[in-house]
Structure 1
Amino acid sequence: MRESGGKRHAEIAGAGIGGLTTAAALAQRGWSVTVHERASTLRTFGAGIYIWSNGLRVLKAIGAYDKATVGAHVGPEFHTRDHDDITMEEIPINGPGDARLITILRETLINTLVDVCREAGVEIRTGSEAVGATPEGELLLADGTRCKADLVVGADGINSRVRDSLDLLLYRRDLGYGAIRMLIPRARGDVPHEDENRYIEYFSGSRRILYTPASADDLYVALCCGADDAEALKVPADRALWTQSFPHLANLIVRFGDAGRWDVFEVAKLKRWSKGRVAIVGDAAHAMPPYLGQGGGCALMNGLALAVTVADAADIGNALGEWEARERPLTEHTQDTAENLGSMNTWPDDVRSAVLKIVGKSRELGEVRMRTARHVPTGTEAFPL
């Protein structure tokens, strides 16, 4: 459905990372684009986000890098610590030859993507709920409107109604584990001075605490536990309970207050990433647990790659097949690797500590884990870091 001026048109459900990246990249290639967001505003839940080299390259390619990285935290290392606060694994980052990693507020990323979209002429409609799509290229809205397009994109999250209306879901699995996520102000004394700027994941039994500076002033914390750990997943967090598991983090835990939201970790895989003129991106297509910090990175990569592939394609359906064939293997590698890392949640402390101290020295396993971070995404070849 070309507009009168000859532009191709896209209708996108969801103003998250995948939807906004796709929208910006399409508009920058001459498409007209409308994004539908069911919420009344574009505000996001307060949390931090990890962006590795692959995601940073995408931000450069769509002109979002400079603004998105203002005030970002650039840590020197990522540590995994055991129940005795002993480092089991140390991943060097941001040095010569290392993968780059920054952390920012999720709100900063979304706001930057919105700005890039609007600069490119994307129309963003809030309070506009998508309930399905047709393979012929129609986005169906809750108010009965049928929006015709050359391309429809379902970027409407793990509960995607666009995806499900086309019977594309292969499986969706609750991993029985999740996290209370929160943002709190950074303060001296939360951790020893030498750890203040590091990214650190602490283990104790089946519980984890993720310590992530997200800016000079903001600290992103994730309290991870099993979905059957009823006392640990309560919000507000039970500070006495978490201090008992992590006594060396007492100074940090006492400041948790009433902040936080519990989210369960899930994985989703599709039969196909597209049907007719409809493509699925982001968590709707490839939800994964956060152990690699690549959920957002994969959404960025696949959104840009989608736009690059369909931009001038004579046949949208064929182009979507090419896009999936090229991008899906790495995304599923990322999903599978992240899910495998979650298996250690239930290991006894001593076993986990011993295994990770060995695994942390394996070059081959390190390459598997960092494969996505070191990848040069489609459309970013001209944008080195």
Structure 2
Amino acid sequence: MSAPYSAQRWIVGRVVPVVLLVLLLVVPASLVGVAGPLTGVRPQPPGPRPSVAVRVNTAPPAPFGATPSDPAAIISSVNRSVVDINSTLGLRNARAAGTGVVLTGTGLVLTNNHVVAGATSITGRAVANGRTYHASVVGYDRSHDIAVIQLANATGLPRLAVADSSSVTVGDSVVAVGNAGGAGGTPTAVTGSVTALDRSITAQEPDGGVQQLTGLIQVAADIRSGDSGGPLVDRSGRLVGINTAASIEEQGQATGGTGFAIPSNTAVGVAQQIMAGTASPTIHIGPTALLGVAAADAEGQVAGVMVTGVIFGSPAERAGVGAGDIIRSVDGRPVGSARELTSVLDTHHPGDRVRITWTDQAGQAVAATVTLAVGPAG
């Protein structure tokens, strides 16, 4: 099974006051954590880094300041290429909201992977025509936090002009647009400026999962929860980045609106590979394959992946895998960590038959061939 959840923390790649960095996704707190993660903890990157905790940035949007171009005109133009995305996270019994950017008139939409990760149902509301469409995941790249979804039967949607993000410089004026608070309707927008380039963070999701991201644009703009996947545009209204994360101080005080965006060159480049159906070690095309185990790195003398839970009726459960067992290999490939298990399963699709080996709680070696099922997205 491929799932994005784990248990680590966002980290900023420089010494700063303790701040709270959060992926800009709305997940109702009362619904989070009903069901457990389906893969295990991803290891922290090597080397000392200042550690930070995480919570949602609820600071109100900053008012528009004076910019060389008319912010109202920029927003009016950009809004037409924005999509409000709502996901049902079936295995967690939760709902999530984020934002997307129209890539094609026929409804291919660019967003963050974490906006749709774990989703069993996705809808997208195109701001241009007010219509809500059922959506499916075309593909995703977890390592770059990028996904492409398809709005069913969409036509005539306006695309957003894309700028060369390598030309972005510190001090450039920007506007961040998105579905702040998951409210839907007319997108919100805040102005700001680029404060740093090529930033690295280790990303924490609302339920504690993490992901390391590099090469980000750092901005001074009060982007908020729900803005994930939304456009960061320049003074001409051209896409320069995809809004991904923001921060506040640990005590809940605003930090002045520090945000992070994936550069447009990176985001659109990954999206183009997905649209072309080009899989890679990091890009998965099509539905996600489900083995059906919650997992963590094994500790002790037996190398492998510790099974911490099994989904009823899943391929793993039908094969006899149980909590406490240690998975040793999948499809002939040894798995020494939960991250490796996810990586191996990412190379497969629903319907693939794979052989798994494991050591049960009695210490006996067991093997079985299973047919992978359809799992939640991303």
Q: The TM-score by the shorter chain falls in which range?
A: under 0.3
Structure that is richer in strand per residue: 2
TM-score, structure 1 as length reference: 0.25
Structure having the higher helix fraction is 1
TM-score (norm 2): 0.26
